Amino acid sequence: MSDSSLRLVWVYPDLLSTYGDQGNALVVERRARQRGLDVQRVDVRSDQPVPTSGDIYLIGGGEDRPQRLAAERLRRDGGLSRAAENGAIIFSVCAGYQILGHEFINDLGEREPGLGLIDVVSTRGEGERCVGDVLADIDPRLGLPQLTGFENHQGVTHLGPTARPFARTVFGKGNGTGDGTEGAYNDTVFGTYMHGPVMARNPQIADLLLKLALDVNALPPTDDRWYEALRAERIAAASQPA
């Protein structure tokens, strides 16, 4: 695979990168290079245009006002939406996940339009904030082991008919709807509430994005001992009674 190349775009790190979500970009980049892939990583700040020629786009979480600013600028820029139309792979976390939906509630208490790249609508929950470790069984069609992550959000995200749940929670609130769903996805666009960063805890997600971007069924094996030790630690911690 040494003759392959991949363009990785980290979207708005100045606005959307809470709880170490930039670690997702580091994990995807590292796991690509471990397979001999030539990776060009592009960090796009919110005052810069989003390129449309990327292969994988990553978006993190953020506080309420930065989320609104990011949504406004992404709508005005249009680059991420055009990249999705071109078949790019997009993975989003928390505030970024809400932005990819049809709408969410912004810091002014108003309904803010999203990009409509996933068939979801996010509102603000009235109960306790969703905080803590998450264990979730990923959609079997994605073929990955149980996921571990950390959530911290007030949002409640409802899936429309064309969105599939990314996972089903064993522990944690996930989308906050009470139906056990966590995140959502369609063919090339993914969203989750899980931080951690989620790909450090679950490097198989990074591998999934790489396989989709490269249109291959498998990747060469790599040393996963560190990742598996972290996964085992976090799964054991989450499984302990409170």
* Confidence (pLDDT) at 239: 77
Single out the catalytic residue among 94, 102, 130, 158: 94
CATH of the domain at 40: 3.40.50.880
3-state class (DSSP) for residue 232: helix
| Structural domain contains residue 1 | no
Task: Note the pLDDT tens digit of each residue in 50-83.
Answer: 999 999 999 999 999 999 999 999 999 999 999 9
Give the Cβ contact number of residue 16 at 10 Å: 28
Number of domains in the chain: 1
Establish if 233 belongs to a structural domain: yes
Q: Looking at the predicted structure, is the pLDDT value of residue 3 above 80? A: no
Q: Does some domain include residue 31? A: yes
Q: Which residue in 102, 153, 158, 195 is the catalytic one?
A: 195
Task: Give start and end residues of each alpha helix (H) in the chain.
Answer: 22-34, 64-77, 79-85, 95-100, 198-201, 203-214, 225-239
Let me know if 195 is a catalytic residue.
yes
pLDDT in the model for residue 4: 56
Kind plus residue range of the DSSP H or E element containing 135 = strand 130-138
Mean pLDDT of 2-13: 84
Q: For residue 94, indicate whether it is catalytic.
A: yes
* Contact of 181 with 202, CB cutoff 8 Å: no
Provide the annotated binding site for substrate.
129
Domain assignment of residue 120, given as a range = 6-239
Give yes or no for a cis peptide into 203 (omega within 30° of 0).
no
What burial class does residue 128 get, using C-beta atoms within 10 Å of its C-beta: 0-12 exposed, 13-18 middle, 19+ buried? exposed
